[in-house]
Amino acid sequence: MPKSSPYRIPPTAALIAFECAARTGSFAGAAKELGTSQPAISRHIANLEEKNGAKLFERSRTGVKLTEAGRRFHTGVAPALGMIDKATSEIAEASSGERVVIACSNPVSHYVLRPRHNALREALGERTQIQTVIFHRYSQNLPLDSVPDVVLDWEATIRGEGAVVLFAEAVRPVCAPEYAATHSDTLNGPVSGWSGLSFLEPGSASENWASWEHWFQAAGRPEPSPRFVSFDNYVYSLEAAVEGQGIALGWKNFVDQHLETGALVALGDGYIERDNHFCAALTDQGRVRPIARLCLSLLELVPKVAGGLKTW
């Protein structure tokens, strides 16, 4: 330590070893937590005791216990290390920008979030990183380093307060223009005569999503029962429709881009609406983060004000 330094501060590694040993009550426990050896912890403590001229721990076969001098030293060291850690984290976050984590299913990420990603990022600020976490059940399989701030899903799955409705669920059949032309006579007739068509469906669709059965109840049922072709997820079934493999059930706000570009055409007499809504909600972590609360409010507003995004 330079003689001109105004501080009598021991090496940081020794202070961390001391704090960890005091908290765990064991040199072995401190070594395990810090990923080092017990002799290394012992050396750090011995050096501190020598420099301070005071015994910091009472050693025994069952562990270690702070002496009166050790307790006074720990009272100063522990909060000081906490303040240094907090300051370091704040500097790192300020230099790298903030991050907001949005959790949703693969179809939602592909068809709902991705087209709006640039507008959302612009509204949040260039220094904010938007990370998307994809998983099937929102209470399981969370990446350990990516706990979400905001969850996007149908209202039946959303839990807790702070949810906002983005749009109501509405579905109608869609298919490729070539498929519609090939089967125009059938498609121009009543739904009861559509049994010869291939109905594409996501085999792993959530029970909270509409199904062909819901649409049949509103629009009519093909007789005899039609042929269903199942896919692993909604993205695959919709892309199969684009390729001309059959008709898929199209969700409003999911198929908009395909309809606008002409990759798909709409069938039937219009959208069939259900008493179900697509929502965004803050998680427990998101509720205490200002950037997450801002993201939630923007999810309502960005699609309505960004160029080319007419509606959610």
Q: What is the pLDDT of residue 140?
A: 45
Domain 167-276: give its CATH architecture: 3-Layer(aba) Sandwich (3.40)
Given a cut of 70, whether residue 269 has pLDDT beyond it is yes
Q: What is the pLDDT of residue 300?
A: 78
Residue 236 and residue 65: Cα distance in Å, rounded?
A: 62
Given a cut of 50, whether residue 141 has pLDDT beyond it is no
Cis bond upstream, residue 143 (ω within 30)? no
Q: What is the pLDDT of residue 146?
A: 56
Q: Measure the N-to-C terminal CA separation of the chain; round to a whole number of Å.
A: 62
Residue 206 and residue 227: Cα distance in Å, rounded?
A: 21
Spell out the long-range contacts of 106-111 with Cβ–Cβ below 8 A and sequence spacing 24 or more: 106/134, 106/233, 106/234, 106/235, 107/202, 107/233, 107/234, 107/235, 107/238, 107/254, 108/152, 108/153, 109/134, 110/235, 111/235, 111/238, 111/251, 111/253, 111/254, 111/255, 111/257
Q: What is the pLDDT of residue 61?
A: 83
Which residue intervals of the chain bear CATH 3.40.190.10? 99-166+278-305, 167-276
> Mean pLDDT across the chain, nearest whole number?
84
Rounded average pLDDT over 170-187: 96
Give the pTM: 0.62
pLDDT classification of 228: cutoffs 50, 70, 90 = very high
Q: What is the pLDDT of residue 307?
A: 41
DSSP letter at 195 equals G
Read off the pLDDT of residues 58-114 as tens digits, 9 standing for 90 and up. Answer: 998 888 999 999 999 999 999 998 888 777 765 555 545 688 999 988 889 988 888
Residue 246 and residue 242: Cα distance in Å, rounded?
A: 9
Length of the chain equals 312
Rounded average pLDDT over 41-66: 91
pLDDT classification of 204: cutoffs 50, 70, 90 = low
CATH topology of domain 99-166+278-305: D-Maltodextrin-Binding Protein; domain 2 (3.40.190)
SS3 at position 273: strand
Given a cut of 50, whether residue 155 has pLDDT beyond it is yes
Q: What is the pLDDT of residue 5?
A: 63
Question: Measured between alpha carbons, how far is residue 80 from residues 44, 109, 249, 265 in Å?
Answer: 18, 43, 60, 65
pLDDT classification of 145: cutoffs 50, 70, 90 = very low
Q: What is the pLDDT of residue 138?
A: 42
CATH topology of domain 12-96: Arc Repressor Mutant, subunit A (1.10.10)
Which residue intervals of the chain bear CATH 1.10.10.10? 12-96
Rounded average pLDDT over 107-136: 85
